[in-house]
Amino acid sequence: MPETCPACGGELKWVDYFGRWTKWNQFFNEPVIEHEGDIFECQNQECLLCWHTLGDSELKQGYPC
């Protein structure tokens, strides 16, 4: 897990993960999401950038498309 923002060096906070719906869980009546990456936010109030990782764990700026 990345610890610092590449833009300013501030602390990154894990916010959520993202992925694809792969199937429907028939027992709990909810979707099953295949984890593809994580979303982080910079905690530096002057920076406020968002970052995401894909399977290779390399940080990319912005939210995943």
| Domain-wise residue ranges, the chain | 12-61
Q: What is the C-alpha to C-alpha distance for residues 49 and 61, in angstroms, rounded to an integer?
A: 7
Mean pLDDT of 15-42: 81
Percent of the chain with pLDDT over 70: 89
d(CA 55, CA 37): 6
State how far the Cα of 7 lies from the Cα of 52, in Å rounded to an integer.
13
pTM of the predicted protein model? 0.74
Mean pLDDT of 43-60: 87
